[in-house]
Amino acid sequence: MDPDDAAVETLREGRRRLRPLGGDCIVGLFYLPELDPPDGDPPDGDPPDGELPDSDRTSGDRARSDVPRAAPTSAGQRALLDQVIALVGARHRRRGATVGRGGPGEVIVVRPARAGRSAEGALDQIVRTIAGHEFAVEGRRLRVTPAPGYVQVDEAADDVMVIRRARLAAQHAARQLDLVPVGYHPAMEARAGRLRRPLRDRLRPGEGLQILLSTALCVGVPFLVYSALFAHGIDPTAVVFGFLVVALVGTALTIYLEQLAALEAERCPAAPAAPFPPASAVIAAYLPNESATIVDTVRAFLRLDYPGPLRVILAYNTPRRLPVEDVLHRIAAADPRLLLVHVADSTSKAQNVNAAVPLVTGEFVGIFDADHHPAPDSFERAWRWLSNGAAVVQGHCVIRNGSDSRVSRTVAVEFESIYAVSHPGRARMHGFGIFGGSNGYWRTDLLHQIRMRGSMLTEDIDASLRTVLRGGRIVSDPELVSYELAPTTVPALWRQRMRWAQGWYQASRRHLHRALGSGDLNARQKVGLFWLLGWREIYPWLSLQIYPLIVFSLLHPKAGQGFRLNISLYVVAAFFSTLVGPIQAVFAFALADPSIRRHPGWFVRFAMANIVYSEFKNVIARLAPIKELLRDREWHVTPRTEAAPHGAGEGAGFPYADEAERYAQAPS
């Protein structure tokens, strides 16, 4: 039967059953890349040796992979598709719903549209069911990756058009492989002459004006509010002043408690609870940006000392063929542990990671950026955590090019305050950790279900929060070390932190209300998530509120008597808050990796510059919601250049350095 005929037949059967319930329905098309043989294969012929040759695997277009993928025979593929259909039908069939075949690797679900229930929510449950299930085919246990597209139609819609639109939506979902249902939109249709930038992009103000706008909102709007209240006989200064004092002291006190908690952070289990299983490492790379360093990175992973089998997967995208690919292919030919995955249509790290997930073998997988060199025992240590109940382990990211510039030295100390102090302290104090995007180790089955979402600028934070909200335990281990590169210039640092701040803002908007309303989190975790997602967005705006308050008090002499009388209290609170930076530096020095601690001067300079650096980050944090409002989400790639070999300081500070290696400097 023609693939379109099969899909249309399933749709017609579903719509026939729905007529007594009304004509409106949701048509979901779940594309399974693993079950769609590449073009050129005989539809009923078995691939040689039971494997599919190199193929496009981001469905619809399918993401190209340089690695053969083990797959069932054609008969096994048909049996697997039958199992998927039976599973969906058994768990999600509603009165009047229909589940059946479509084209190759497609499952069609036709269900009634229900008032008050979104199509995304209904299809998301089906996606979770498929992605979370292990299927048995030809004596093997397999998982599949559904790419869900859907269209909501009325009784008059043409069947062929409906299937075409659902398939088009599934193709868009398949480019991300993040398990998020994608609804059809007319903008998905290919049109000539769509190269012009949208009007909002052409009218968007530049970054300088955006900074002025955010500052005006932060300072000007409160002043106008105070003036309006005072004109109506209300003096707001006492209340605002008291709130600012409490905010300053409370924020500083929470940070101090977090630092103290880091001294008693949870320790890694002494031994694994199970033998060392097969494992995988996924390195995500945008190859033009990583070509100077990627060979050294791959060799660093192939030298890892792990007792079990370890597969190293380099998932990369590149707009053009590069000479370094030939070098990588020679390494892969010499060492079968290395798999090269070219993700042809990728535009993000999330897509690269998601494309690699179906190739992952073993019970756990480490995710890394392309500049990371993990310590030799990193996978062995990670398994000790995972085998004892952790779902995700976040390691300690240490800067290895701290000597390159003042910026990289600042970031080197800052990373110690984050990974050696804040992360383990938060996990101890609030009962949850955070996956930071690299040097993180996941249980394979969990990563298969969570995935990374390319729509989020910080896909790592989004994945962390979705894991925590479903009850997963994320732990932080400051002794699980990997060495990476820091930005070396202020513009590069600005771009990196701008993306981080905007991504955190996205994650806060999406997950804060879910966290506070979750019945699966305890009070301690909810307080911690409010601090992490809510207060971290509020505080940068509060940090400047003393200035409009002072100006208002000077312009309205009859107001603010309590404020003027208690200015000394604010000075004390501000001083208490200012000490956060120096005390952070002290804790960071005490708990730092030896390669960074051997430079005490870096910590002294960090403490002295902390006030300026904190406001630098606050400016970025205040700018993030402005950029989101303007839909300014451009991703800037900073080219990497080669540097002389050294670690945190002149070679000796990087304990796993190979003297023959040469590293690149540049931001992640």
Q: What is the pLDDT of residues 559-596, one digit of tens each?
A: 766 565 567 777 888 888 889 999 999 999 999 999 99
Whether 485 maps to a domain, the answer reads yes
Measured between alpha carbons, how far is residue 23 from residues 114, 525, 657 in Å? 11, 45, 67
Based on the fold, state whether residues 10 and 152 are members of the same structural domain.
yes
The H or E element containing residue 190 is none
Determine the structural domain holding residue 343 and report its residue range: 275-538+636-650
Is pLDDT larger for residue 390 or for residue 241? 390
How many domains does the chain contain in total? Answer: 2
Measured between alpha carbons, how far is residue 97 from residues 3, 92, 112, 124, 150 in Å? 21, 9, 7, 16, 15
pLDDT of residue 45: 38
**What are the beta bridge partners of residue 474?**
392
Burial degree of 190 (CB within 10 A; 0-12, 13-18, 19+): exposed
Based on the fold, state whether residues 171 and 298 are members of the same structural domain.
no
pLDDT of residue 70: 54
Q: Looking at the predicted structure, is the pLDDT value of residue 96 above 70?
A: no
What token pair was written down for 374?
């993990």
C-alpha–C-alpha distance, residues 50 and 145, integer Å = 19
Q: What is the pLDDT of residues 135-162, one digit of tens each?
A: 988 888 888 899 999 999 887 888 899 9
pLDDT of residue 36: 64
Whether 224 maps to a domain, the answer reads no
pLDDT of residue 668: 34
* Residues 6+ positions from 489 with CB-CB distance below 8 Å: 405, 407
Buried-state track 252-282, b at ≥16 Cβ within 10 A, e below 16: bebbbebbebbeebeebbeebeeebbebbbb
**What are the beta bridge partners of residue 70?**
51
Please report which confidence band the pLDDT of residue 17 belongs to, taking 50, 70 and 90 as the band edges. Answer: confident
Whether 591 maps to a domain, the answer reads no
CB atoms within 10 A of CB 50: 13
C-alpha–C-alpha distance, residues 169 and 600, integer Å = 55
Based on the fold, state whether residues 342 and 444 are members of the same structural domain.
yes
- Find the CATH number of the domain harbouring 488: 3.90.550.10
In this prediction, residues 478-488 reach a mean pLDDT of 96
pLDDT of residue 392: 98
pLDDT of residue 204: 72
* Residues 6+ positions from 566 with CB-CB distance below 8 Å: 241, 245
Based on the fold, state whether residues 430 and 290 are members of the same structural domain.
yes
Based on the fold, state whether residues 384 and 514 are members of the same structural domain.
yes
Whether 583 maps to a domain, the answer reads no
Q: What is the pLDDT of residues 166-221, one digit of tens each?
A: 999 999 999 889 999 999 998 888 754 455 555 566 567 788 899 999 999 999 99
C-alpha–C-alpha distance, residues 547 and 223, integer Å = 9
Whether 602 maps to a domain, the answer reads no
Q: Looking at the predicted structure, is the pLDDT value of residue 368 above 50?
A: yes
Based on the fold, state whether residues 507 and 411 are members of the same structural domain.
yes
Q: Looking at the predicted structure, is the pLDDT value of residue 23 above 90?
A: no
Please report which confidence band the pLDDT of residue 663 belongs to, taking 50, 70 and 90 as the band edges. Answer: very low
Whether 150 maps to a domain, the answer reads yes
